[in-house]
Structure 1
Amino acid sequence: MESSPVNFIDTANFKMVFVLLSVLGLLILYITKLISVEVSSLIILTFVLLFFQFFPVLDINGSNVLSTSVLLSGFSNPALLAVLSLLVLGEGIVRTGALDNLGEFLSGIQLPSTILFAIIFLLVVTLSAFLNNTPIVLIFIPILQSLASRFDFSIGRLMMPLSYSAILGGMITLVGSSTNLLISSSMVDQGLDALGIFEITPFGLVLAGSAMLYVLFIMPILLPEKDIMNRRTSNGRQYISQFVVPADAPFLGEVALAGHFESFPNITIKVIFRDDKRIQVPFDNYEVRAGDIFVVAATRVALTKIATTFRGLFHPPLPYGYDFQLTRIRKYEEASKDNLDTSFNEDGTILVEAMISPSSRMIGLTLTQFELQQSQCAIFLGIQRRSTMRTTRMTDMRIKSGDILLLKGKPNELEPLRNEGDIVMISGTRGSIPKRSHAKRAIVIFIATILSVSFGFVDIATASIAAATATVLSGCINFRQAARAIDKTIYLLAGTSLALGTAMTVTGGASYIANSIVFGLGLNSMSPIFVLSSFFLLVAIITNLISNHACAVLFTPIGISLALSIGIDPRVFAITCLFACNCSFASPLGYQTNLLVMGPGHYGFMDFVRAGLPLVAFVWIVFTLIAPMYWEL
């Protein structure tokens, strides 16, 4: 009897192939960024849930081993909950200003620049071993910018080492990186004991310490100095902006000469929209009309000059679908009863560069949507996105983490956004000093958490959840701030990856990949250290292409199966996967802190390849040399 297509799909081999194709599809979506990480995760997760609902994997009792509850159990995984809880704890430390005294001390210390920067980077490594590294990087960005200005030092030679120092710190302890906790959880799912909080510390110190020698002494040579304007001030940074030509503009009827307009001598016109028509350079015979939309590129100084020369240009009445300025005109009129130009009164106004924080409410909103939701009167002048200059209509742009906005307004108008954690001021103002009455409480909670786990009083998940609860109940942060500290991207990405990891193990996909690598490449005849080193390099490469969280969860079961295939302690391969996943140096996409420093450091993609790829190779070589002695292979 011929088998039907349904019977073929319901075979064990096809189920394994389906899971492996799902993993491949997820990796492709993560690498290409065709759609957001959150949407990619939900799409793949939905397909997997539906597939195993109709084609279950049955045990001897007839129960579905990959039921919906099993696949979704990753979202309640203790390690994932610990990761999210530690984010809340870290938010409490940042909000209370517990680390601000340290930053102020470093800013005022009198030491040679090279020594001072080395101290700061080593301090970042130490802090990142115990705290989430994203807020640490956000804290030190303005500190390093201030010091770079004081010493006339290239900011481009500071921002990337800052990010790498934070990443390296995550190698030192279990709580140093959320990736470490997810790998520890995967080990438990595979039948191994969870990692101890300091189990990876000896090897991690060797890797991080040797890598810091590269960061301090070799990386500055590989990172080119940016132009003198970018070194001495951020005025040389190019922003993209947009304005609508008002009906009473003094430059109405002006004709372009060789692509330039007399009224705008220091800006570059990228594109002009008239109705639904897109007009490109060189704008031959173009005559300015009311309602035209100009998308321009200009420095901070040039945009400020335009805003003050043509008052009202950046906050006209709201024409449908066009205006994207960050002003609530009606509320402003009700509050001040003054002319709209009051917001550009030089008395009391400041110009700031503000970076979108990872937990910002703005992320995913178009600039128009944000304008309609926020209640401040700050004037939006321009946006810079990770060195990429956009020439589309600004109303079509969605805000992303790491975007840098050029804003103008009074401090009290900007402060609510800063206080809510939506933006991080990186120039123009230091902002107000946070209330520190609860700083000691946050530090005590943090120390108690580390000690309780270190001495085995409670497990990491229980300690983290208790710490997050204590952070809220003690008044360090409120519940809304705690909720916003939870990274939804990590939650969806890790939960989906855990589901796929479970499916790979149950269907035999992890064992199939491991056996294919071992016997297909002839690794069964190779030395264990060769196999281990090759696995490290493979994971280190992939972690620079996709999220390190996804890489960790997907490759841990593969590494454990690979270890069993060659007769090595699977714990060794799991820890190897941990160190390799923390090697996200060669791409700005591999780690969130890389994206955060990309704008302030004026980096392009190739800057990370130039400086980060040798670091990946360096850590790999050190690992290969140390591993045989450490594990007696």
Structure 2
Amino acid sequence: MMFSPEAIQTLLLITGCFGLLIFTRIPADVVLLAGVAILVFANILTPAEALAGAASEGLATVAVLFVVAQALADTGVVSWISYTLLGRPRNVASAQFRLMAPVAIFSSVLNNTPVVAMMVPAVRDWARRNNISSSQLMIPLSYAAIIGGTCTIVGTSTNLVVNDMLKAHSSGISLELFDLAWVGVPCVIVVILFTVFTSRWLLPDRSGRVQRFEDARQYVVEMLVDSGSPLCGKSIENAGLRQLPGMFLIEIDREGRLLTAVSPRETLQANDRLIFAGDVRSVVDLKNIHGLRMADDQVFKLDAHQAVRSLVEVVVSPNFPFLGKTVRDMGFRNHYGAVIIAVSRGGQHLKTKIGDVEPRPGDTFLLETHDEFVESQRYSRDFLLVSQIENSRPVRHEQRGIAGLILLGMVAAVAGGFMSMFKAALLAAGLMVLTRCVRTQDARRSIDWQVLLVIAASIALGAAMEKTGAAQTIAELMVGLSAGSPIGLLIALFTLTTLFSAVISNMAAAVLLFPVAMAASDQLGISAVPLAVTLMVGASTCFATPIGYQTNLMVYGPGNYQFQDFMKLGIPLSMLVGIVTVIIVPIVWPF
């Protein structure tokens, strides 16, 4: 069968898009949307077909899950997961194993999209606390979630669809829940071990880029251990207070007695005042630890509710009206509706108590204040600069139980088959907003529009391959190359499914290739089951490109990746999984 002119144009365009993504730094959404636009102007796609991806349920599900993930971060569920589940790894390899093993287990019985949505903010927080680059962890997170779905029939929706098609084609023959584990478990082991042992060479370490932009200003802040705090009775190390990058514990004030050179085995007590020194990002981390609060009594006299407070930095101008007065005497809270919690001078923290500091022009104050402070003081002559600290609002620990229950309810609804992933995520996001686990404006800001645009454009490109017959023609040519060999047919089918899944959705690839595989099994007179299993595994081997699977797109931004980063690790990993599949499938399911 020959390619039609439209099919040739589509293939050349997609090849060009891949080339731009691999060899340039043009954003993926710009490249793919431009490709879709060309297909529309070439009359290969109608406007309705080009925009169909924007209305897809998969895209909408990812968008809603961003809101759920934001609520989990805002209520402290993310921090709890990073502390309790992931622990304290000794090195990067240990961190990757601690992450990938449980994620693969979760994804074997749960939809991998919510698993990754839940884990992305937790892993980002965990990486920062343990001084590990997020780029060393985000791809392993996605790969573990993808390959975990090959262990059970319910692991992915693709498995369920292919199993139903197999049952219809083979007069009732189908796979049981854990039948796929024969090939899925070895694939999971191979993926985890290969990633752990080769990531130092195949995954980027972009921590240096983050460090170059880290805040150089140093502050001293005083935190109070609440009565009844979960930190009471824990050592400094077990409480996670030695795991804060850019922050160290100077001393403890315990009922007027100073403990200096604090040992990591020192046990925390109620009403301990902990004096830390570090940069502003770490001050935010301190504020988010459950059981710690700012020790300055002035903070509790602020009119604004704690949920709408945030941290703001201001630089004192020569026109500041309280020059020559100490912080204690100037009445800063009454005048500005804000409290000074730390002072930096010349980029260095001041060891003097805040109340005794006399401000000078150029000093930087770290304030806790209400949301409107930035707008009201942005053009004030009193300050040279007014800047809100990103993500500095207090964590709503009191809402953590509610958010956790909503998350469990969402997962249970999907796992039990009561709702589709989209409906469950939509209900969960709505409940998160209604129960005030996340503010409406934060829910809006949480959505990563670049990821959604890439998904929509990828769906449109896949539709063009199907519409022009390019996908069908390639499939028939590849199966023809197997030359009547069952093993050759498995190799061709796995390769083809993996390649198609990198361009079109894995579900579309599986549905498109299933009739081709069944036709080949009928021609060779062999069982259809090994071909169906190979199709399921091949559709879940979307490692080589970020657009191959939506979980890859979900970690693309948080990991600060480039397109080729997925190819370096994903291509050899896909080959290894293919080898394992082709060896095991004929043994467990003979031809």
Taking structure 2 as the reference length, the TM-score comes to 0.55
What CA distance in whole angstroms lies between the structure 1 residues aligned with 2:10 and 2:564?
32
Compute the displacement of 1:337 (Å): 6.2
Asked whether 1:81 is paired with 2:57, we answer: no
Q: Closer, same or farther in 2 for the Cα pair 1:20/1:444, shift >3 Å?
A: same
**Which range moved further: 613-622 or 475-484?**
613-622
Partner of residue 32, structure 1: 23
What CA distance in whole angstroms lies between the structure 1 residues aligned with 2:163 and 2:25?
31
Partner of residue 392, structure 1: none
Secondary structure of 2:77's match? coil
Compute the displacement of 1:517 (Å): 1.9
For 2:123, the aligned partner's letter is: F
Q: Closer, same or farther in 2 for the Cα pair 1:214/1:171, shift >3 Å?
A: closer
Q: Closer, same or farther in 2 for the Cα pair 1:575/1:347, shift >3 Å?
A: same
Compute the displacement of 1:207 (Å): 3.5
Partner of residue 463, structure 1: 424
Contact 2:139/2:555 (<8 A) preserved: yes
Partner of residue 78, structure 2: 99
Partner residue of 2:448 out of 487, 493, 507: 487
What CA distance in whole angstroms lies between the structure 1 residues aligned with 2:556 and 2:105?
18
Compute the displacement of 1:477 (Å): 1.5
Counterpart mapping for 1:35-74 below 5 A = 35-52=26-43, 67-74=46-53
Listed as ranges, the gaps of 5+ residues in structure 2 are 170-174, 215-277, 280-311, 324-342, 352-373, 378-384, 522-527
What CA distance in whole angstroms lies between the structure 1 residues aligned with 2:39 and 2:574?
34
Listed as ranges, the gaps of 5+ residues in structure 1 are 1-10, 56-65, 149-154, 242-299, 302-327, 350-373, 378-409, 420-431
Compute the displacement of 1:342 (Å): 6.0
Q: Closer, same or farther in 2 for the Cα pair 1:213/1:459, shift >3 Å?
A: closer
Partner of residue 526, structure 1: 485
Q: Closer, same or farther in 2 for the Cα pair 1:123/1:90, shift >3 Å?
A: same
Compute the displacement of 1:40 (Å): 1.7
Identity of aligned residues (%): 18
What CA distance in whole angstroms lies between the structure 1 residues aligned with 2:103 and 2:88?
17
What CA distance in whole angstroms lies between the structure 2 residues aligned with 1:604 and 1:79?
21
Asked whether 1:346 is paired with 2:348, we answer: yes
Partner deviation per Cα, 1:212-240 (whole Å, 9 max, x = no partner) = 466459834773799xxx9xxx8999748
Compute the displacement of 1:171 (Å): 3.1
Counterpart mapping for 1:161-176 below 5 A = 163-173=139-149
Compute the displacement of 1:581 (Å): 0.7
Contact 1:171/1:201 (<8 A) preserved: no
What CA distance in whole angstroms lies between the structure 2 residues aligned with 1:622 and 1:206?
8
Compute the displacement of 1:89 (Å): 2.0
What CA distance in whole angstroms lies between the structure 1 residues aligned with 2:409 and 2:415?
10
Contact 2:500/2:509 (<8 A) preserved: no
Secondary structure of 2:180's match? helix
Contact 1:172/1:200 (<8 A) preserved: no
Contact 2:407/2:428 (<8 A) preserved: yes
Secondary structure of 1:35's match? coil
For 1:526, the aligned partner's letter is: S
Compute the displacement of 1:331 (Å): 8.0
Counterpart mapping for 1:476-625 below 5 A = 476-519=437-480, 521=481, 523-527=482-486, 529-537=487-495, 540=498, 552=506, 555-556=509-510, 559-560=513-514, 562-567=516-521, 572=533, 575-582=536-543, 593=555, 596=558, 609=568, 615-625=573-583
What CA distance in whole angstroms lies between the structure 2 residues aligned with 1:539 and 1:376?
57
For 1:469, the aligned partner's letter is: G
Compute the displacement of 1:509 (Å): 2.1
What CA distance in whole angstroms lies between the structure 2 residues aligned with 1:81 and 1:187?
25
Compute the displacement of 1:103 (Å): 2.6
Partner residue of 1:140 out of 123, 126, 147: 123
Contact 1:137/1:166 (<8 A) preserved: no
Compute the displacement of 1:346 (Å): 2.1
Contact 2:71/2:432 (<8 A) preserved: yes
What CA distance in whole angstroms lies between the structure 1 residues aligned with 2:184 and 2:322?
61
Compute the displacement of 1:482 (Å): 2.4
What CA distance in whole angstroms lies between the structure 1 residues aligned with 2:419 and 2:86?
38
Q: Closer, same or farther in 2 for the Cα pair 1:145/1:488, shift >3 Å?
A: closer
Partner deviation per Cα, 1:375-419 (whole Å, 9 max, x = no partner) = 899xxxxxxxxxxxxxxxxxxxxxxxxxxxxxxxx9x9664x134
What CA distance in whole angstroms lies between the structure 1 residues aligned with 2:515 and 2:589?
18
Q: Closer, same or farther in 2 for the Cα pair 1:74/1:592, shift >3 Å?
A: closer
Counterpart mapping for 1:375-524 below 5 A = 415=389, 417-419=390-392, 434-519=395-480, 521=481, 523-524=482-483
Contact 2:101/2:192 (<8 A) preserved: no
Q: Closer, same or farther in 2 for the Cα pair 1:530/1:332, shift >3 Å?
A: farther
Counterpart mapping for 1:204-219 below 5 A = 207=184, 210-212=187-189, 215=192, 219=196
For 2:6, the aligned partner's letter is: K
Partner of residue 123, structure 1: 102
For 2:144, the aligned partner's letter is: L
What CA distance in whole angstroms lies between the structure 1 residues aligned with 2:161 and 2:316?
51
Compute the displacement of 1:107 (Å): 7.8
Partner of residue 311, structure 1: none
Contact 2:182/2:588 (<8 A) preserved: no
Compute the displacement of 1:76 (Å): 0.9
What CA distance in whole angstroms lies between the structure 2 residues aligned with 1:376 and 1:625?
68
RMSD: 5.7
What CA distance in whole angstroms lies between the structure 2 residues aligned with 1:439 and 1:617?
42
Partner deviation per Cα, 1:155-193 (whole Å, 9 max, x = no partner) = 58x97366414421233349x9xx96699899999xx99
What CA distance in whole angstroms lies between the structure 2 residues aligned with 1:122 and 1:376?
50
Q: Closer, same or farther in 2 for the Cα pair 1:459/1:136, shift >3 Å?
A: closer
Partner deviation per Cα, 1:270-289 (whole Å, 9 max, x = no partner) = xxxxxxxxxxxxxxxxxxxx
Asked whether 1:203 is paired with 2:180, we answer: yes
What CA distance in whole angstroms lies between the structure 2 residues aligned with 1:376 and 1:215?
52
Partner of residue 274, structure 2: none
Contact 2:3/2:473 (<8 A) preserved: no
What CA distance in whole angstroms lies between the structure 2 residues aligned with 1:30 and 1:457?
40
Secondary structure of 1:438's match? helix
Partner deviation per Cα, 1:469-500 (whole Å, 9 max, x = no partner) = 22222222223322333332332222222223
What CA distance in whole angstroms lies between the structure 2 residues aligned with 1:455 and 1:216?
31
Q: Closer, same or farther in 2 for the Cα pair 1:51/1:185, shift >3 Å?
A: farther
What CA distance in whole angstroms lies between the structure 2 residues aligned with 1:110 and 1:498?
39
Q: Closer, same or farther in 2 for the Cα pair 1:162/1:499, shift >3 Å?
A: closer
Counterpart mapping for 1:276-287 below 5 A = none
Partner deviation per Cα, 1:423-467 (whole Å, 9 max, x = no partner) = xxxxxxxxx862222222222222222222333323232222222
Secondary structure of 1:580's match? coil
